[in-house]
Amino acid sequence: MTIDNRMAQVAAGDMATIKDNLMTAYKEAFPDGAEPQVYFAPGRVNLIGEHTDYNGGHVFPCALSIGTYAAVSKRADRRLRFYSLNFPKEGVLLSDLEECVPGKDTKWIAYPKGVIWAFAQRGLELDCGLDICIWGNIPNGSGLSSSASLEVLTGYFLRDLYGFELTNIDLALIGQYSENHYNGMNCGIMDQFASAMGKQDQAIFLDTADLSYEYAPVSLAHHKIVITNSKVKHKLVDSQYNVRRQQCEEAVALLSGRMQLKALGELSFLQLEANRDLFTDEILWKRAKHAVTENERTILAVEALKAGRLEEFGQLMNQSHISLRDDYEVSCEEIDVLVEEAWKVEGVLGSRITGGGFGGCTVSIVENGAVENFQKSVGEAYSRRLQREAEFYIVEIGNGPSKL
């Protein structure tokens, strides 16, 4: 089994090819369209800090060199035309600016239309429609934030084409708002922030309580970041994701009767444990325990990385997975098998589920010399135990959105 380099990275030399192919597809889909501009926004992987973003805690994601591309032009009328190279059988999807209504769209166009709607909620009305041709190399449903990538991409080209004065943090907030209120997914800010603010070879240590952040160099001269795709697609809106957020809010409500508290990220585990008696519901206790301990793990992990203590960073990744599996219960059998098998491979510093959960991918830190054996051992065990085939991507940490 080999790494699919087409998914693993987009090398600088490939950008021209991608742009040419996208321009060709655009002209075939919209033969009467104006000359387009081409844009890119990355996906993300979260190294540690899962389900802490909507709990006012810390996260530690990085942007990837894979993502979503768009060839876009303005129209003379108010129509919206969409075409995706990833879903060619759907053909050109038609809409208009008046049809950007929350909860009405069921296809992928709900994400760009949601951002257009969210711009309008800020008083940033589009004065004309668009022709949009999309292609992405983030595996769909993998937990690497294809939706956030598309949202940030849309915000980025809207800002450029219509001359809106917005920062990249504004674009992240708009993307999150659209996903929350247009698509009904109560996500935190992490995915959109990582895509909008990505920086090559740097991860983002973000405090989601106040959006303060710093870049931390990820120096892995002797190691690789390997993402393993379980091929189990997660559908977070239809899953228990929103339920987890509601459970955390219930935990905050419980604790607020005894202390001033807005979010679980404000607590240390010692403080939480001192109020254990409030939790008659064991499920709420487990959810709160994860949110609080994961926040502490993330802070410790960044300190370890800065100090060059990679083995400690890897151990904290492993602890993160155990908490997500046992306390937050957002893993699944396929992901657990991938992580268990990764832990057995010599040269693996750490491995854990990444993303919202209920499927998707794992992220592992693997010594350079162990990568080939990692793929072989984990891939064969996954096939033997579950009769499924995994995909492996060696990823590089890339920049945020750009105009090509």
**What's the token pair of residue 181?**
């209120």
What are the φ and ψ backbone dihedral angles of 136, each rounded to 5 degrees? -135, 150
| C-alpha 311 chain-centroid distance | 25
Q: Provide the pairing of β-strand 93-96 with 79-84.
A: antiparallel
Catalytic-labelled residue, pool 53, 191, 207, 327: 191
Q: What pairs with residue 393 in β-bridges? A: 227
Which positions ≥6 away from 89 have C-beta within 8 Å?
none
Are 144 and 229 a contacting pair, CB within 8 Å? no
Q: Give yes or no: 277 in active site.
A: no
**What's the token pair of residue 252?**
């905050």
Distance between CA atoms of residues 197 and 86, nearest Å = 25
The sign one gets for the Cα dihedral 358, 383, 48, 251 is positive
Angle at the Cα of 289 (from 284 to 295), degrees rounded to 5?
Answer: 130
DSSP 3-state of 303: helix
Which of these, 379, 304, 395, 292, lies nearest to 349 by C-alpha position?
304
Which of these, 90, 92, 86, lies nearest to 68 by C-alpha position?
86
Distance between CA atoms of residues 224 and 314, nearest Å = 12
Are 267 and 248 a contacting pair, CB within 8 Å? no
**In the 8-state DSSP scheme, what is residue 73?**
E
Count of residues making up the chain: 404
Q: What distances in angstroms separate CA 26 from CA 20, 36, 78, 386, one per listed residue?
A: 10, 8, 19, 41
Ordered DSSP codes for 144-209: S-HHHHHHHHHHHHHHHHHT----HHHHHHHHHHHHHHTS-----SHHHHHHHH-BTTEEEEEETT
Q: Which residues are catalytic?
A: 191
